[in-house]
Amino acid sequence: MFLAAAVPARAGQRVLDLGTGVGTAALCLAARVPGVAVVGLEIQPAYAALAAENAAANGLADRVRVVQGDLLRPPAGLAPGAFDHVMANPPHLPAGSGHPPPDPAKAAANVEGEAALADWVAAALAMVRSRGTVTLVHRADRLDAVLAALHGRAGAIVACPLWPGPEPASRPAKRVIVQARAGVATPFRLSPGLVLHGPGGAFTAAAQAILRGGAGLDLGAALPDDGAQHRQGT
């Protein structure tokens, strides 16, 4: 949901959701931005079918289209440079690492297969138009790999940490949203990030605005709310 909230799409624009899974991010974006058209690409047939069912069940089938296919070999209907924005939640673990779930479908969603992280970034950049945005959510400990894949190929890169609690110094971010623009050379920026939980463990007002209120996430602004005082001066 935070990935979808970070995509700066407007009505009339086209967005590609690479690895759409069951369509969660695609549906969240379509619900937040009336008039936007989203195409979800999913390699697993069962997930692709479920994503299409979810779009229909939520009354969004007219604006959310699901295509079954491989990002390494995109279907003919997906033309390079045809999208204003591309978003993706790539598998978070490199091939051969970690302890993948026993369910093959879940394992494929969590552990890289034939397509490595660099391939996901390359596919996103190939599909987005010049000056369009690519937005990814990934593990914070792989931020270096994301930035390496973007280096020399996109600019205006901004990294937005998702802080789990109000004291980032003691609870490091586990996830980070990275956004870049194709065909520009603006320098890298580190966003103040978003604090997800307050001192009592409840979601902050900023996080709730996204999760329950359908708000967007401005990667250039600080949205810490309840935890703001803990990060001033750092």
Measured CA to CA, the distance from residue 209 to residue 65 in angstroms comes to: 27
Point out the least confidently predicted range of 8-22, 105-119, 132-146: 105-119
Question: What's the whole-model pTM score?
Answer: 0.89
- Higher pLDDT residue, 82 or 226? 82
**Average pLDDT, integer, range 115-124:** 95
Q: Where are the alpha helices (DSSP H) in the chain?
A: 2-6, 24-32, 45-57, 104-110, 117-127, 143-150, 205-211
19-57: pLDDT as tens digits: 999 999 999 999 999 999 999 999 999 999 999 999 999
**Contact between residue 7 and residue 31 where contact means Cβ atoms under 8 Å apart:** no
Alpha-carbon distance values, 96 to 135, 144, 227 (Å): 25, 19, 37
**Mean pLDDT for all residues in the chain:** 88
Query: Domain segments of the chain: what residues?
Result: 2-230
- The answer, yes or no, to whether residue 229 has pLDDT greater than 80, is no
The CATH architecture that domain 2-230 belongs to is 3-Layer(aba) Sandwich (3.40)
